[in-house]
Amino acid sequence: MTGPAWRRQRVRRNWVKGALFAVTGRRRCPVCAGPALPVAASWMHAHLRCRRCDLVFVADRPTLANLIAAYERVHLGDYQVRHKLDWEPWMRHKALTLDRLGIGSWEQGPGPHRALDVGCGEGRLLQLLQRRGWRAEGLELNRELTADARRLGLTVAVGAVEQAEPKGPFELITLNHLLEHIREPLAVLRRARGWLAQGGLLVVETPLRPDFDNIDHLYCFSAASLMLALARTGFTPTRYFDYIDDNYRHHNLSCLALAG
């Protein structure tokens, strides 16, 4: 069976899977361990929503090996192709986001301070951080994107965040649209905490509204679930806001947290 009929069958199967996971408690919320109910199904995933902290997550996660294999390949959507032609609007938007989080006040002290962008892609956020005075480096799983960043003169290591060992400490770590793709977000937050200096800054941005058609998204954090995840991994959230991205029209959540 192929085509639309195959997809409809997969969607129905995943609705059943989500219900079974919820009824049996096989997949409780990874942030607060609360009970979850099925909320949606796509041809790839059954999606559950935590009744306590409102986290949305897939019932059956891919293995780490499968995720690494998938992200080692380059995926170029229409918006990425557009940005390859002109990254400046995206970078101006990110600069405004950093300003709104209050990063500018930290940049006024003696420096340069060290920054790490995890999942840095082609390195455009690294470029922005360097413009702002940070001694920035990146970590990227995909070798082709790493090569693109290095052609810009940027320092980028190749590797998965779950396995990498960057040489800290850093004063700033950015996780820009990374957590929703990670198999174990809390484990990654704990690793980031270990790479940060005491009192260092963590900037997280992630979608606030679920996109059930995006098979790469394993999680969608609410503000409550993200604040709880940060608190449970050694961070103190200090500022957050949500906004509609002018580039993609996505509803995002941005947060600044201090390493405790």
Q: Which CATH number covers residue 209? A: 3.40.50.150
In a domain, residue 65? The reply is: no
In a domain, residue 254? The reply is: yes
Cβ-proximal residues to 194 (8 Å cutoff; 6+ apart), any chain: 168
In a domain, residue 192? The reply is: yes
Handedness of CA 144, 149, 154, 158 (dihedral sign): negative
Tell me, yes or no, whether 100 and 149 share the same domain: yes
pLDDT value for 22:
85
Give the CA distances from residue 254 to residues 66, 96, 142, 205, 208, in Å, rounded to whole numbers and listed in that order.
Answer: 28, 12, 24, 4, 9
User: Are residues 165 and 195 in contact, defined by beta-carbon separation less than 8 angstroms?
Assistant: no
Tell me, yes or no, whether 164 and 210 share the same domain: yes
Beta strand extents in 82-182 (DSSP E only): 114-118, 135-140, 156-158, 170-176
pLDDT of 83 > 60? The answer is no
Enter the tokens of residue 4. Answer: 């639309």
pLDDT confidence bin for 177, thresholds 50/70/90:
very high
Tell me, yes or no, whether 151 and 171 share the same domain: yes
Tell me, yes or no, whether 91 and 34 share the same domain: no
pLDDT of 2 > 80? The answer is no
Question: Mean pLDDT, the chain, as a whole number?
Answer: 91
Tell me, yes or no, whether 51 and 125 share the same domain: no
Q: pTM to 2 decimals? A: 0.93
pLDDT confidence bin for 110, thresholds 50/70/90:
confident
User: Are residues 136 and 103 in contact, defined by beta-carbon separation less than 8 angstroms?
Assistant: no
pLDDT per residue as tens digits for the range 25-44 = 888 999 999 999 999 999 99
pLDDT confidence bin for 76, thresholds 50/70/90:
low
What is the rounded average pLDDT of the residues 170-197?
97
Tally of domains in the chain? 2
What is the rounded average pLDDT of the residues 162-189?
96
In a domain, residue 64? The reply is: no
pLDDT value for 26:
80
In a domain, residue 133? The reply is: yes
Tell me, yes or no, whether 136 and 91 share the same domain: yes
pLDDT of 98 > 90? The answer is yes
In a domain, residue 187? The reply is: yes
Tell me, yes or no, whether 180 and 255 share the same domain: yes
Which domain, by its residues, includes 10?
3-58
